[in-house]
Structure 1
Amino acid sequence: MSLTRCAAALLAVVTLTGVVSGCAASPGAGEPSASSVVSRSALPPRVVAGYWHSWGTPAVRLRDVPPEYTVVMAAFAVGDRTGRVRFTPTAQSAASLVADVRSLQASGRRVLLAVGGWNDGGLQIRTDAQLEAFLASVTPIIDRYGFSGLDWDLEHGISPATLERATRRLAERYGQRFAITMAPILGAREPEQLELARRIADLLDMVNPQYYNGGRSDPAWILQHTLGWERVVGEQSVGMGFLLVRLPGETGTQTSQAICTMWQRLLESAPRARGVMLWSVNHDRSQGYRFARTCARTILRS
């Protein structure tokens, strides 16, 4: 069985006792139902989320991100084995970024700090010391820029128990309006991502599995997999993550029309699903913001 199929099967056996085991079931058995997950209100009912990164071309100032992106993840806070993280935007000055974050949030949009990414600098948050170092370094970043939430995008192995503690500490510090999202990587790392999601389901506002690194891109599989995640985190927190521009090592590039079609299919089974995430706003710009002007508007109206 491939790693991707194994991870999909594991969606069935993330249990309320925290056990992750087996690799031969279908989604549904032993998972919390959507009704058992507490609904949070840190994000609007419908979301189009996009990662904004300050490297590469074309560069995009945060204030120029189209309004159809109602949630923007600023990528990335990266770190090292000590657990400490840093955030270094290069497309604009720190002062202008602070102003842009305020401007977007004054218009009702949310700007979250994304932690990790593929090139995360070797970030480790496993031990008590790493946890404290992470919290001591990430909170000044959140406070300086005024981010209204945090997105977990850790792709090289995690400790679900330690990240649960980190998430709860941040939620306690910043309150109910502080959004918590995840972009789980598929394949061999997915079981531990599922375990983290199960542990913090009461705090999660949106979970967007990355359907561009799992080796499959067929809509039926994506829909089934998303519904498996829905059983773990609840209907109102589930989303889907897509890629518009093919990148080295990635699979599953989708057109705007294909994304819209999959969204409509998802609504047939999960009418309260949260929305869609895109990597990235910058790539959408390279296509004339075709996604923002077409599919994103359809999602927000649905």
Structure 2
Amino acid sequence: MPPLPTAPVPSWNPRIVCYFQTYHHNGEYVSLLPLITNPSGVTHVILAAIHVNWDPEKLTLNDDPPDHEKYTQLWDEIVVLQDSGIKVLGMLGGAARGSFARLDYSESRTDVPLARFETYYAPLRDMIRKYGLDGLDLDIEEEMSLPGVIHLIDRLKSDFGRHFIITLAPVATALMAGRPHLSGFDHKLLEAARGSSISWYNAQFYNGWGGMHTTDAYDEIVRNGWPPEKVVAGMLTNPRHGGSGYVPLELSAAVLSLLVERYPTFGGVMGWEYWLSLPQEQHCWMWAYSMALCMGMKKVRDAAIIVSMRRNMASMNLGR
């Protein structure tokens, strides 16, 4: 692979967000530790996907309870990541519908009592507390009312405090004027009402909802009034992850370099997902590292140089 183009050093460090859903492959756990034992540049990891099911006591992480023994190593590693400065969030919802329908409450709805919301919300709150998550990503791919999402955000902030990170994961067209999307409410109205409580938007620029093969889709979002620092550009890390819209690293590198130059407070990138990330599927951390280089993150360049020097010195010593 030819060298990736690098952007000028930005005035601030963009976010590099890795979604993590495939926790096991061929019966073996997929470790997150390479993100900290290498100069990956990752700032946030989002664990997918938490589901609020019809039985409120049967909250699941993917298909199993969060306390299932298959997740023991995951929760142990999360503590290590957090101790290393990486923030870890949970992702609620996604393609599997139902979570947000069960949490959709507002005072104006006479058909949904507050007690129903509390019944479904309590296990989610307890899970966040038990595992010490730094925040929650709301991936709303079903109809939800604007008052309902506002109520959920307000409750999370009330329970976990102002430093608790709340993000949303809309398809990119949801941030464009008059374009179709999946969430059922107007994101501009939500931003006007609760923008101070939303850290950023992990916008999905794939599967036909806007692409990252050029800057056009991101530019359209900025023209629609969204501040670049709140829009993280989401992309697939491998075409094998399903859907469409994968952009090869060489091209996405060029696009990211332009975005960083055009928008000094560019919000960063997110990748779906950590497992099998290119450019080397067996070294998942390298996708984040490549993104950091593309966006000109000086601390990652410097760390890479130090690691390379140490390895060369160790090799020289072994050769004596």
Normalising by structure 1, what TM-score? Answer: 0.73
Select which of 258, 270, 278 maps to 2:263: 270
Between the aligned partners of 1:178 and 1:296, the Cα distance in structure 2 is 25
1:202 paired residue number: 196
Unaligned runs of 5+ in 2: 1-11, 106-113, 174-179, 299-320
Per the TM alignment, residue 86 of structure 1 is displaced from its structure 2 partner at its CA by 3.0
Select which of 210, 214, 221 maps to 2:216: 221
Between the aligned partners of 1:73 and 1:245, the Cα distance in structure 2 is 17
Q: Name the amino acid aligned to 1:207.
A: Y
2:315 paired residue number: none
Q: Compared with structure 1, are the counterparts of its residues 250 and 91 closer, same or farther at alpha carbon in structure 2 (3 Å cutoff)? A: farther
Q: Compared with structure 1, are the counterparts of its residues 219 and 99 closer, same or farther at alpha carbon in structure 2 (3 Å cutoff)? A: same
Q: Is the 8 A contact 1:50 1:69 kept in 2?
A: yes
Q: Compared with structure 1, are the counterparts of its residues 105 and 160 closer, same or farther at alpha carbon in structure 2 (3 Å cutoff)? A: same
Which digits, 9 at most, give the CA deviation of each residue in 1:135-160, with x for residues without a partner? 31211111111110110112122222
Q: Compared with structure 1, are the counterparts of its residues 52 and 65 closer, same or farther at alpha carbon in structure 2 (3 Å cutoff)? A: farther
Corresponding position: 1:286 with 2:259: no
2:146 paired residue number: 160
Between the aligned partners of 1:72 and 1:56, the Cα distance in structure 2 is 16
Between the aligned partners of 1:236 and 1:155, the Cα distance in structure 2 is 23
Between the aligned partners of 1:248 and 1:291, the Cα distance in structure 2 is 14
Between the aligned partners of 1:184 and 1:55, the Cα distance in structure 2 is 23
Corresponding position: 1:46 with 2:14: yes
Per the TM alignment, residue 92 of structure 1 is displaced from its structure 2 partner at its CA by 6.5
Q: Compared with structure 1, are the counterparts of its residues 92 and 256 closer, same or farther at alpha carbon in structure 2 (3 Å cutoff)? A: farther
Q: Is the 8 A contact 1:98 1:144 kept in 2?
A: no
- The structure whose Rg is larger is 2
Corresponding position: 1:61 with 2:31: yes
Q: Is the 8 A contact 2:44 2:86 kept in 1?
A: yes
Q: Is the 8 A contact 2:236 2:273 kept in 1?
A: yes
Corresponding position: 1:86 with 2:60: yes
1:112 paired residue number: 89
Unaligned runs of 5+ in 1: 1-43
Between the aligned partners of 1:81 and 1:258, the Cα distance in structure 2 is 43
Select which of 68, 75, 79 maps to 1:102: 79
RMSD of aligned Cα (Å): 3.0
Q: Secondary structure at the match of 1:202?
A: helix
Per the TM alignment, residue 91 of structure 1 is displaced from its structure 2 partner at its CA by 9.8
Which digits, 9 at most, give the CA deviation of each residue in 1:63-113, with x for residues without a partner? 344542220000010123577743345996444333211111111110001
Deviates more, 1:240-249 or 1:135-144: 240-249
Which digits, 9 at most, give the CA deviation of each residue in 1:237-291, with x for residues without a partner? 2211001222586221112232232222223342112211000111316263342
Task: Count matched residues.
Answer: 257
2:160 paired residue number: 174
Corresponding position: 1:141 with 2:127: yes
Q: Is the 8 A contact 1:80 1:123 kept in 2?
A: no
Deviates more, 1:139-148 or 1:157-166: 157-166
Q: Is the 8 A contact 1:241 1:279 kept in 2?
A: yes
Q: Is the 8 A contact 1:226 1:239 kept in 2?
A: no
Between the aligned partners of 1:220 and 1:236, the Cα distance in structure 2 is 15
Per the TM alignment, residue 117 of structure 1 is displaced from its structure 2 partner at its CA by 1.3
% identical equivalent positions: 23
Q: Secondary structure at the match of 1:62?
A: coil
Q: Secondary structure at the match of 1:264?
A: helix
Which digits, 9 at most, give the CA deviation of each residue in 1:195-248, with x for residues without a partner? 43443211121212101123543414322234146x24x332221100122258
Corresponding position: 1:75 with 2:48: yes
